[in-house]
């Protein structure tokens, strides 16, 4: 690969997340989204250039939670999120186990179809129920971190599944914020 070809690929590279390469077309629209291993020129750039050295997926350690809540677990307050009432059985069951996410929250999910999980976040000290995000292949969370990974480790999504690659979200106390690669 010539240095000219390398610069062309670098200028069109927009994101490398969990091994997925996204290139922009001439009009700025996503043009190519493939596992970077399957694109030899891109693989060469990623493995030998500054992209590999500077961009990485967020880690749980990047977003620490406060102290782990150890008090009495509040009953879920369905008045704070009336739509969650339809799923009260699974929410009540999961909250009984105490925090599993961001120090004082229980992240609860259930299936909403093939390749779909709905999520709510329950504050274990108050019972407040917050809407979450939908995931494609399930979430990965830690009790001591505010980071949630949607479809963890899914570097090669199934054919035809546009939303099955990993996405990263940080809990901000009442809602998720999507985060991209870290430098």
The alpha carbon of residue 173 and the mean position of all alpha carbons in its chain are separated, in whole angstroms, by 16
pLDDT of residue 54: 60
| Sign for the pseudo-dihedral over CA of 135, 25, 16, 172 | negative
pLDDT of residue 3: 40
For the CA atoms of 31, 36, 41, 45, what is the dihedral angle to 10 degrees? 110
Do residues 92 and 69 lie in contact, with contact meaning Cβ atoms separated by under 8 Å? no
Q: Would you list the DSSP string of 13-34?
A: EEEEETTEEEEE-TTSSEEEEE
- Per-residue tens of pLDDT for the chain, all 183 residues: 334 333 333 333 444 444 454 444 444 444 444 454 444 444 444 444 444 446 788 999 999 999 999 999 999 999 999 999 999 999 999 999 999 999 999 999 999 888 789 999 999 999 999 999 988 888 999 999 999 998 776 555 556 666 667 889 999 999 999 998 776
pLDDT of residue 96: 97
pLDDT of residue 7: 36
Place of tokens 């493939």: 34
**pTM of the full structure:** 0.68
């Amino acid at each position: 690969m010539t240095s000219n070809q390398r610069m062309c690929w670098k200028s069109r590279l927009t994101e490398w997340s969990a091994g997925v390469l996204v290139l922009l077309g001439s009009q700025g629209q996503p043009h190519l989204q493939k596992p970077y291993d399957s694109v030899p020129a891109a693989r060469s750039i990623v493995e030998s250039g500054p992209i590999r050295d500077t961009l990485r997926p967020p880690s749980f350690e990047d977003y620490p939670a406060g102290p782990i809540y150890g008090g009495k677990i509040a009953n879920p307050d369905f008045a704070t999120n009336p739509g969650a009432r339809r799923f009260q059985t699974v929410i009540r069951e999961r909250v009984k186990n105490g925090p599993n996410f961001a120090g004082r929250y229980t992240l609860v999910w259930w299936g909403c179809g093939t390749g779909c999980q709905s999520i709510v976040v329950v504050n274990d000290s108050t019972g407040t129920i917050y809407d979450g995000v939908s995931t494609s292949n399930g979430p990965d969370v830690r009790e001591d971190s505010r980071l949630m990974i949607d479809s963890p480790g899914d570097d090669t999504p199934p054919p035809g599944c546009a939303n099955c690659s990993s996405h990263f979200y940080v809990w901000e106390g009442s809602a998720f914020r999507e985060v991209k690669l870290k430098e």
